[in-house]
Structure 1
Amino acid sequence: MSVEIQYLAWAIVLGVAQLLLADLLVTRQRGMAWNTGNRDQQMAPPAGAAGRSERAFRNFLETFPLLAAAVLALVASGRADATSALGAQVYFWARLAYVPLYLSGVPYLRSTAWTVSMAGFAMVLWPLLR
């Protein structure tokens, strides 16, 4: 199995962990009745760490499909190389660092982690564009 596919799998695990964390924190804030209810009522966005975890997860969902498509195209085309393998690792580790940075409200380091993850994505995409 390629490094890119392995890190794609780890990124899926990270996404599931972020989903569960956001759900846990929002449920803690709004209560179990909200979680198990039909959610027909409009509610204000969650505050504090619950809101930040939800936004961090949404941010993950904005970049992950692009990475997944690039990794699958890369592996299917046989164009994976050392740069794309490193890029998949950079993307994953930067996205992992992004979560606690966002949850704790660290502004500049959070943005740096996002930028590094996008550099990793570019490294994965690059062999497809050559």
Structure 2
Amino acid sequence: MSVELTYLVYTIALFFVVVMAQATTGILNNGALAMANSRDNLKPPTVMQARMKRLTDNFRENLWFFVPLVLIAAVSGISNQWTVLGAQIFFFSRLLHAAWYAFGWPIVRPLFWFAGVIACGLIFLALFGILT
């Protein structure tokens, strides 16, 4: 498996952790039975529950940029220092973004998000042979 695909697997594993953290905050706020049912009459979300929902949504939205780029690179047989660097930056930026978001630490979080955007840009440019 290529380095890029390995980081894709790491990223999906991290996303799974984020989704489980979101589910846990829902269970803690509403109880497992309420979360297992229709969820029509749930309590208002706690601050942490709302934050984890936003984190999960943000992570999911960013996967739509990263996943196709890595898969296109793999199918096309394109792997170089830029695609590897892009995959690495994306994973670590999402890891740090998730931590900063979950703990509610201010200001720096958007920089981690932007690093993920740059990472996708590196892979995109490598796919078109601009970065070789």
TM-score, with structure 2 as normaliser = 0.90
Is 1:9 aligned with 2:9?
A: yes
Equivalent residues in 2 for 1:1-130, closer than 5 Å = 1-41=1-41, 44=44, 46-130=45-129
CA deviation vs aligned residue, 1:88-123 (integer Å, no higher than 9, x gap): 000000100111201121231111111111111111
SS of alignment partner, residue 87 of structure 1: helix
CA deviation vs aligned residue, 1:41-93 (integer Å, no higher than 9, x gap): 4764x221111111111101001122110001011112221111011000000
Structure 2, unmatched stretches of 5+, are none
CA contact (8 A) 2:34 2:42 kept: no
CA deviation vs aligned residue, 1:22-49 (integer Å, no higher than 9, x gap): 00012101222321212234764x2211
Q: Distance in 2 between matches of 1:19 and 1:111?
A: 20
Structure 1, unmatched stretches of 5+, are none
Q: Which portions of structure 1, spanning 4 or more consecutive aligned residues, are displaced by more than 6 angstroms?
A: none
Q: Distance in 2 between matches of 1:43 and 1:76?
A: 46
Q: Distance in 2 between matches of 1:23 and 1:36?
A: 11
User: Aligned pair count?
Assistant: 129
Query: Matched residues, percent identical?
Result: 26
Residue type at the aligned position of 1:47: T
Q: CA RMSD in A?
A: 1.5
TM-score, with structure 1 as normaliser = 0.91
CA contact (8 A) 1:87 1:124 kept: yes
SS of alignment partner, residue 107 of structure 1: coil
